[in-house]
Structure 1
Amino acid sequence: PQFPTNEMKYNLTWSTDGLINEYGNPCEAIHEGKLIETLPLEGLEHFSLDGVDYEAFNTSGGVGTLCETLAGKVRMLSYKTIRYRGHRNLMAFLMNELRLNDRRALLKDVLENSVPVTPQDVVLIFCTVTGWKEGRLTQVTDARKIYHADCLGESWSAIQITTSAGLCAVVDMHAKGMLPKQGFVRQEQVKLDDFLANRFGKFYAREPQDDSVRTDVPTRATVI
């Protein structure tokens, strides 16, 4: 949420079943060049962006086929979900200590009757890469924030914008012949510059490219 007020510092913004799957299913990662399976809600780390403290931890599903593609090519790779600090410990208590990961229907009922939904959300994308470049160990970070916005005459949440924009951009690029016409196309085969230049992918850009994208807060994200 853009305005966290409860103890969990979280509001429901999408599928509760999908959220529980993220928090409860095994995750994929690369460790020392090899594809491994990791536990959800583990691998906790902290960082700050624009003066706000966040935490990140392992969750399942989001990495797609990237680990398969880069196994043996990179030393370490992980996919984590970002939340406000303190959220992970509360979810770990519910999922593991109270063993609600084994009683997901009950957990879903508890969440949907206790945690409010909100259309006022923000999607934070934070990607950090460390490696050798021109003989020096170098770190490069890309950070983006996408806020809820008025889109096509309607009020859309950030998760609605990013989910639909990602899907529509790839379909649009395929229709224009910018992606392979046959076989399985992995997400890492989509060039970032082409994606951001697309009429749908532009919603992921750091600044809106026309007046059809308007938010009630600045859409510029800080790159650190």
Structure 2
Amino acid sequence: MKVLAVNGSPRKNRNTATLLEAALEGATSVGAQTELVHLRDLNGKGCASCFACKLKDGRFVGRCALRDDLSPVLQRAMESDVVILGSPIYLGGVTAAAKAFLERLVFPCLSYDTPDRTCFEGRIATGFVYAMGMPHDRVEAAGYPHLFEENKRYLELLGGPSEYVISADNYQFDDYARYAASNFDEPHKAAVRAERFPQELQAARTMGARLCKQAE
């Protein structure tokens, strides 16, 4: 059982990365081999709309034709049983790095011919962890469930089940006093970090283990 986690955050040891590490702990607990990749270390681009993946009888049906640092990671993703993505929410969406990887991973599998919309012949279970500063009680009103469900539907083109974990009201700074961030209540953020973030980490662990079981 191979599990690949892909961190779309520019930070390697903060909320998103910690959630991904928890998901991998869950995968490891059921015997999986795991790997964590940080996209900030790689020089890669999003889909170039070259349509090489859509050529009839082409060499790249179901896989991206672009060659850059993302190429070997995408190849390992296609060889994995489970792929788990992670991203903070920036300006209403996932990071540019996470979006680029998602495009390159999913678009080659999106069929313009078949009723089920996929040309991928394998079965990869997928997960997504989202980290965001918005309070939990505002997430739905802000329309974010649409984003989460849309990404879930795209990932389901890889033939397996997909789910996600949301971590909201994140603690963002080591020292709030050093930053122009007076709109945030630091004691409240600290309380959420102490009380709720551990629950979200456990949800990520559970997801990692469950996806492995579903991929068997």
More helix, by proportion:
2
Q: TM-score, normalised by structure 2?
A: 0.23
Higher relative contact order (CA 8 A, sep 6+): 2
TM-score, length-normalised on structure 1? 0.23
Larger radius of gyration: 1
